[in-house]
């Protein structure tokens, strides 16, 4: 029984690979990054990280403010609100810092 299942799995994988090879010959992939050098890839990735991460960070800042307002003096809720605010600020600093470091490294490498 196990031999039949193994043979079926092998034949299924082989079929998928052979279909994929024929499909690849008929279809060519376009470069989605549109980057021609490594520095453009690094800057593009850093820019994408900032464009996605900063709006999320803004949402979490608003959320932490909401948690501060709704804590109403409850120590546990206030501690949760402070932790949310702390980690949001730390994450935002990491996102901005990663973008700044990537830009600085690429500019330094271009001057070499």
- pLDDT (tens digit per residue) in 5-25: 777 776 767 666 666 555 555
**Domain membership of residue 20 as a residue range:** 1-30
- Region of residue 34 (left: phi > 0; alpha: psi -120 to 50; beta: else): left
Domain shared by 23 and 37, yes or no: no
Query: Domain check: are 80 and 50 in the same one?
Result: yes
Total domains in the chain come to 2
Same domain, 99 and 45: yes
Question: Between the CA of residue 6 and those of 2, 10, 81, what are the distances in Å?
Answer: 6, 6, 54
Per-residue pLDDT of 52-70, as tens digits, reads: 999 999 999 999 999 999 9
Average pLDDT, the chain: 84
Q: Are 52 and 95 within one domain? A: yes
Q: Which helix (H) or strand (E) holds 44?
A: helix 38-71
Q: Please check whether residues 98 and 53 belong to one and the same domain.
A: yes
Q: Same domain, yes or no, for 88 and 57?
A: yes
Kindly report the pTM of this predicted structure.
Answer: 0.65
Are residue 52 and residue 76 in the same domain, yes or no? Answer: yes
């Amino acid at each position: 029984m196990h031999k039949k299942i193994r043979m079926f799995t092998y034949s299924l994988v082989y079929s998928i690979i052979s279909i994929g090879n024929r499909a690849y010959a008929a279809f060519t992939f376009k470069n989605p990054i549109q980057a021609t050098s490594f520095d453009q890839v690094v800057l593009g990735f850093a820019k994408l990280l900032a464009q996605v991460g900063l709006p999320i960070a803004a949402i979490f800042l608003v959320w932490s403010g909401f948690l501060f307002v709704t804590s109403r003096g409850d120590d546990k809720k206030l501690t949760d609100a402070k932790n949310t605010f702390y980690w949001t600020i730390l994450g935002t600093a990491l996102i901005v810092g990663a973008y700044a470091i990537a830009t600085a490294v690429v500019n330094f490498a271009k001057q070499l």
